[in-house]
Chain A
Amino acid sequence: MGNAVAIIGTGQTRHGRRSDACYPDLVREAVTAALEDAGITLADIDGVVLGTMPSMMEGVSSTHFYFAEALGSVGKPVLKVETCGSTGQSIGHCGFFWVASGMADIVLVVGSEKMSEGDGQATMTTVFDPFFQRTFAAGAPGVFTMQSMEWMYRFGIPEEKGREAAALISVSNHDNAMDNPHAHIRMRVTMDEVKNARVITYPVRLLDVCPASDGACAVVFASQKAVRKSGRKPAWIRGLGFRGEEFFYGESDKAVWMSATEAAGEAYRQAGIRDPLKELDVAEVYNPFTYQEMIFYECFGFCPRGEAPDYVLRGTFLKGGELPCCPSGGTLCTNPIGATGLIRMAEAALQVTGKAGERQVEGAKLALSHAMGGVDQFNGITIVGSTL
């Protein structure tokens, strides 16, 4: 895995509709918070990595140019990496690679999005190819609903049971977001409200779906030497995995989802994890859609295939359960897409360093973070621990 690397600081904006701030100012808000958390200044940073959704989300191309000052990247090497929804994990991995290679001691990684300024689903539609599939694209909800329907059919999950479990995921994520001062949607919902919410793409309803958020997240990656110098409690990178699959939807099996399964498997091998349900203390799973969260549980080996709804309804993934998932309220309550995967990583780091405030899972030492991108094409995982 190269040299040891740890996260020594994270910063998040207040996420939501942020018409009060222009985009570079929003980015700087996260950067400033991360520098303060890590106890460093811009002068300590050797390189900067930025990630966002495709530039047409906000209509400005190559945003690492636009954000040069806000990122503190003037006079430093800067990279932009994007893999759609999994961008946040990809840029975190990039920060890891840079420090693990020994070519840098401290790298600043920043993810951002200002969804309120553009048409998120129009941008998503252009992720489909122009000749065959774009005609039938119905934004992200269309794809994720197709996948969820296929999954339930494949494993014979009764519609009622799937509905009940998805509703519980919505309720618990909304409850969790109440503990997170950064979260976009902060309101409690009931099972009945979820089950009777407006249909988006059946069986997916409004409260099964994430919001479109403005927000940024910055994370400071440091070498062992820099960790010692900072005096900060580190969240060590224990394992990471990233896998992609074929581009055309329909060409690979999304009910068992190779990329999600193998990305997790790779990260587990590196981290020496054999039984994720027992060994992990908390997971921040990328969950823009309630039903999809259950497919991830199965791909990540939290439960056998087809049994996620049973585990969900048993309370396995609730706060106080065997493996609490998304104590932050998750992507379901906050989704500035280019930042979202990095927020998962930052939240995991906060958990294993005991800095997660009201949303802290007591005694958490080992945490999984995740993001998914494209038309169900990419999955990235990072596992962080309180010890190396």
Chain B
Amino acid sequence: MAREEHRIVKGQVLVPYELALGKTWSAFYDYLKEEKIMGKKCGRCKRVLVPPRSFCPRCFEDMEEWVEVSPEGVLETWVYVNMPFFAQEIRIPFISAQIRLDGSDSGFIHRVAGIDLQDFEKVREIVKLGGRVRAVWNPEKKGSILDIDYFEPVD
């Protein structure tokens, strides 16, 4: 039987949510408003994690100490996205990136922009693994991760 003859019903499930950030992540976004990227330091293993954690994922200890990390860091890896995905917030093409901010011990996921992103071949001449990038702040702070608008390559 040809595929056209298979009976299909279209469906959709729309569910609204209200998601609590909790103390640590609320504070992180309060700091972002002041243009500060804050991590938390584990008293036991001494690692500084961004995003901050209420407890250390490896030591299972409360993480008490806030530490400001640099808005600048090293590009650990990146991906050029030029394909639309459902409910994507950012318009394509964009670059997702893992950035090791100076003073932190984990990769921070954000995007690299501030350059012409249309031509991949040109992009790869500018965006390099191991290269340095710096946060560019969004003048309008909404309490979202895009309060850091993007990271731009630093010469």
| Residues of chain A having any CB pair with chain B under 8 Å | 17, 19-20, 56, 59, 119, 121-122, 125, 130-133, 135-139, 141-142, 145-147, 149-150, 153, 199-202, 246-251
B residues contacting the other copy or chain, number (CB 8 A):
45
Contact B83 A200 (CB under 8 A): yes
CB <8 Å contact, B82 and A122: no
Give residues 90-139 of B contacting A (CB, 8 Å).
Answer: 90, 94, 96-98, 106-111, 120, 124, 129-130
* 30 pairs from A and B in contact (CB 8 Å cutoff): A19-B3, A19-B8, A59-B11, A59-B12, A131-B19, A132-B109, A133-B109, A135-B145, A135-B146, A136-B90, A136-B97, A136-B109, A137-B85, A137-B96, A138-B79, A141-B83, A142-B96, A145-B79, A146-B98, A147-B77, A150-B77, A150-B98, A150-B129, A201-B82, A202-B79, A202-B124, A248-B109, A249-B98, A250-B76, A251-B49
Which residues on the A side are within 8 Å of B13 (C-beta)?
56, 59
Q: How far apart are B102's CB and chain A's nearest CB, in angstroms? A: 15
Nearest CB on A from B36, distance (A): 16
Are A142 and B79 neighbours in the complex by a CB distance under 8 Å?
yes
Could you tell me if A146 and B77 are in contact, using CB atoms closer than 8 angstroms? yes
A146 touching B51, Cβ below 8 Å:
no
The 3 closest A-B pairs by CB, nearest first: A250-B107, A122-B86, A150-B77
Report chain B residues within 8 Å CB of A246. Answer: 57-58
Chain B residues closer than 8 Å to A136, beta-carbon distance: 90, 94, 96-97, 109-111
State A346–B11 Cα separation when bound (angstroms).
33
Measured between alpha carbons, how far is A179 from B80 in the docked complex, in Å? 35
B interface residues, Cβ below 8 angstroms from A:
1, 3, 6, 8, 11-13, 19, 21, 25, 49, 51, 57-58, 76-83, 85-90, 94, 96-98, 106-111, 120, 124, 129-130, 144-146
Residues of A within 8 A of B80 (CB): 201-202
The answer, among B6, B58, B110, B124, for a CB contact under 8 Å with A20, is B6
Decide if B85 touches A250 in the complex (CB within 8 Å): no
B128 to chain A, nearest CB (A): 9
Task: Choose among A20, A132, A137, A138 the residue with the greatest number of B CB atoms under 10 Å from its CB.
Answer: A138
Least CB distance from B137 to A in Å reads 16
Q: Given the complex of chains A and B, what is the CA–CA distance between A150 and B11 in angstroms?
A: 39
Q: Are B78 and A122 in contact (CB under 8 A)?
A: no
| A125 lies within 8 A of B86 (CB) | yes
Closest to A159 in B: B124
Q: Are A149 and B85 in contact (CB under 8 A)?
A: no
- Tell me if B79 and A146 are in contact (CB < 8 A): yes
